[in-house]
Amino acid sequence: MIRALPTALALLLVVAQGTSAQVSLDGLIGAPTPTEEPTTEAGDPPSEEAETASPKEAEADTEALTDAQQALSQAVPDLDEWKTRVDQAETLLQAGSGSTLALTRTRETLFGWRDRFQSLGSLNAGRIATVQSQIEALGPVPEGGEEQPAIAARRAELNRQLDVLRAPAILAKEAYARADGLISEVDSQLRARETTRLTARGPSPLNPANWPAALEGGRDALGGVLSAAMARVDRNLSSGTLLRTLPLAVLYMVAALVLLLRSRQWVWLLQDRVERSHARGRAVWSFLLSLWVIVLPTLGLSALILALRQIGVLARSGDTLSQAIFGAGFTIIIARWLNGQLFPVGEHGGPLGYPPDIRAKIRRNGVALGVGLAAIIVVSALMHSAGASDAAIGVMVLPLQVLLAVVLFRLGYLLRHAPMERDGREISSGRVRTTVGLLCMIVAIVTPILAAAGYAAASDALFAPAVMTLAIFGVIIVLQRLVYDIYAPTTDSTDTGPLMPVVIGAVLFLLAVPVLALVWGARVTDLLEVWAQFRAGFQIGETTISPTDFMTFVLIFGGGYLLTQFVKRQLKTSVLPRTRMDLGGQNAVAAGVAYIGIIVSALVAITTAGIDLSSLAIVAGALSVGIGFGLQTIVQNFVSGIILLIERPIGEGDMIEVNGQVGFVRDISVRSTRIETFDRTDVIIPNADLVSGQVTNWTRGNLVGRLIIPVGVAYGSDVEQVRRILLEVGESQPMVLADPGPQALFMAFGASSLDFELRVILRDVNWKVIVTDEMNRDIDRRFAEAGIEIPFAQQDIWLRNPEALHAPRTSAPAEPSADTAAPDDDRPDTAREASAMMDAGDLHDGDAAPEAETQ
* Contact criterion met (CB below 8 Å) for 422 and 353: yes
Q: For position 719, what pLDDT does the model report? A: 92
Alpha-carbon radius of gyration of the chain:
48
Q: For position 566, what pLDDT does the model report? A: 92
* Contact criterion met (CB below 8 Å) for 22 and 174: no
Q: For position 358, what pLDDT does the model report? A: 85
Sign of CA dihedral 272, 275, 278, 282: positive
Above 50 in pLDDT, residue 840? no
User: Torsion over CA of 484, 489, 490 and 495, rounded to 10 degrees?
Assistant: -10
How many other CB atoms are found less than 10 A from the CB of residue 766? 16
Residue 299: burial class (beta carbons within 10 Å; 0-12, 13-18, 19+): middle
Query: What is the rounded CA–CA span in Å between residue 753 and residue 791?
Result: 6
Q: 170-184, 501-515, 584-598: which has the minimum mean pLDDT?
A: 584-598
Instruction: Supply the DSSP string of 363-407, one letter for each residue.
Output: HHHHHHHHHHHHHHHHHHHHHHHTT--HHHHHHHHHHHHHHHHHH
CA atoms within 13 A on the CB side of 437: 16
Q: How confident is the model at residue 793 (pLDDT cuts 50, 70, 90)?
A: confident
Give all strands of the β-sheet with 754-762 in edge-to-edge order: 705-713, 754-762, 743-749
Above 80 in pLDDT, residue 222? yes
- Can you state the percent helix, strand and coil of the chain, rounding each to 5? 65, 10, 25
Q: 180-189, 215-224, 364-373: which has the minimum mean pLDDT?
A: 215-224
Query: What is the rounded CA–CA span in Å between residue 328 and residue 322?
Result: 10
Q: How confident is the model at residue 347 (pLDDT cuts 50, 70, 90)?
A: low
Tell me which H or E stretch contains 451.
helix 431-453
The average pLDDT across 208-234 equals 84
Nearest CA among 364, 432, 430, 365 for reference residue 404: 365
Instruction: Supply the DSSP string of 65-98, one letter for each residue.
Output: HHHHHHHHHHH-TTHHHHHHHHHHHHHHHHH---
Query: What is the rounded CA–CA span in Å between residue 560 and residue 595?
Result: 12
Query: What is the rounded CA–CA span in Å between residue 564 and residue 555?
Result: 14
Vertex 533 angle, CA 530 and 536, to 5°: 155
What pairing do the DSSP bridges indicate for beta strands 743-749 and 754-762?
antiparallel
Above 60 in pLDDT, residue 602? yes
Residue type, 19: T
Nearest CA among 364, 380, 285 for reference residue 327: 380
The average pLDDT across 319-324 equals 84
Compute φ and ψ for 253, nearest 5 degrees.
Answer: -65, -45
Q: For position 628, what pLDDT does the model report? A: 67
- Helix/strand/coil for 351: coil
How many other CB atoms are found less than 10 A from the CB of residue 81? 12
Q: Which residues of 618-648 are buried (b: 16+ CB within 10 A; e: fewer)?
A: eeeeeeeeeeeeeeeeeebbbebbeebbeeb
Residues 1-55 have pLDDT tens digits of: 333 333 333 333 333 333 333 333 343 333 333 334 444 433 444 444 444 445 6
Residues 550-562 have pLDDT tens digits of: 788 888 999 999 9
CA 224 from chain center: how many Å? 59
* Contact criterion met (CB below 8 Å) for 108 and 525: yes
Nearest CA among 587, 599, 717 for reference residue 648: 587
The average pLDDT across 790-815 equals 68
Q: For position 439, what pLDDT does the model report? A: 92
Pairwise pLDDT comparison (178 vs 644), residue with the higher score: 178
Angle between helices 547-570 and 524-536 (to 10 degrees): 60
- Helix/strand/coil for 657: strand
- Helix/strand/coil for 142: coil
Query: What is the rounded CA–CA span in Å between residue 161 and residue 171?
Result: 16
Nearest CA among 813, 850, 853 for reference residue 834: 850
Query: What is the rounded CA–CA span in Å between residue 138 and residue 135?
Result: 5
* Contact criterion met (CB below 8 Å) for 849 and 800: yes
Q: How confident is the model at residue 406 (pLDDT cuts 50, 70, 90)?
A: very high
Nearest CA among 423, 232, 191 for reference residue 314: 232
Residue type, 599: I
The average pLDDT across 686-711 equals 84
User: Torsion over CA of 561, 566, 568 and 574, rounded to 10 degrees?
Assistant: -170
Q: For position 829, what pLDDT does the model report? A: 47
CA atoms within 13 A on the CB side of 230: 6
Residues 440-460 have pLDDT tens digits of: 999 999 999 998 888 888 998
Nearest CA among 251, 344, 353, 357 for reference residue 304: 251
Query: What is the rounded CA–CA span in Å between residue 753 and residue 266?
Result: 97
Mean pLDDT, rounded, of the chain = 78
Q: For position 710, what pLDDT does the model report? A: 94
Integer angstrom CA distances of residue 142 from 2, 138, 145, 148:
21, 11, 6, 10
Query: What is the rounded CA–CA span in Å between residue 253 and residue 301?
Result: 10
User: Torsion over CA of 404, 407, 409 and 411, rounded to 10 degrees?
Assistant: -130
Q: How confident is the model at residue 375 (pLDDT cuts 50, 70, 90)?
A: very high
Q: For position 817, what pLDDT does the model report? A: 47
Pairwise pLDDT comparison (320 vs 373), residue with the higher score: 373
* Contact criterion met (CB below 8 Å) for 67 and 164: yes
Residues 605-663 have pLDDT tens digits of: 887 776 666 655 666 676 677 666 666 777 778 788 778 877 778 877 788 888 888 88
Compute φ and ψ for 384, nearest 5 degrees.
Answer: -70, -35
Length of the chain: 855
Nearest CA among 489, 484, 533 for reference residue 187: 533
Domains of the chain are 7-37+49-199 (no CATH), 210-239+318-527 (no CATH), 553-697 (no CATH), 705-786 (3.30.70.100), 797-854 (no CATH)
The average pLDDT across 828-833 equals 47
Nearest CA among 804, 798, 806, 799 for reference residue 845: 806
- Helix/strand/coil for 187: helix
Residue 464, strand partner residues? none
Q: 72-81, 212-221, 536-545, 836-845: which has the minimum mean pLDDT?
A: 836-845
Query: What is the rounded CA–CA span in Å between residue 487 and residue 504?
Result: 11
- Helix/strand/coil for 774: helix
Residues 153-171 have pLDDT tens digits of: 888 888 888 888 888 888 8
Compute φ and ψ for 294, nearest 5 degrees.
Answer: -90, -45
Pairwise pLDDT comparison (146 vs 358), residue with the higher score: 358
In terms of DSSP H, where are the helices of 240-355?
241-277, 282-311, 320-342
Residues 77-134 have pLDDT tens digits of: 777 888 888 888 888 888 887 888 888 888 888 888 888 888 777 777 888 888 888 8
pTM of the model: 0.62
Query: What is the rounded CA–CA span in Å between residue 337 and residue 648?
Result: 67
Q: For position 780, what pLDDT does the model report? A: 92
Above 90 in pLDDT, residue 240? no
Vertex 494 angle, CA 488 and 496, to 5°: 55
Pairwise pLDDT comparison (14 vs 670), residue with the higher score: 670
The average pLDDT across 318-340 equals 88
- Helix/strand/coil for 24: coil
Q: For position 809, what pLDDT does the model report? A: 59
Query: What is the rounded CA–CA span in Å between residue 801 and residue 74?
Result: 125
Above 90 in pLDDT, residue 283? no
Query: What is the rounded CA–CA span in Å between residue 844 and residue 840?
Result: 10
* Contact criterion met (CB below 8 Å) for 204 and 453: yes
- Quote the DSSP letter at residue 649: S
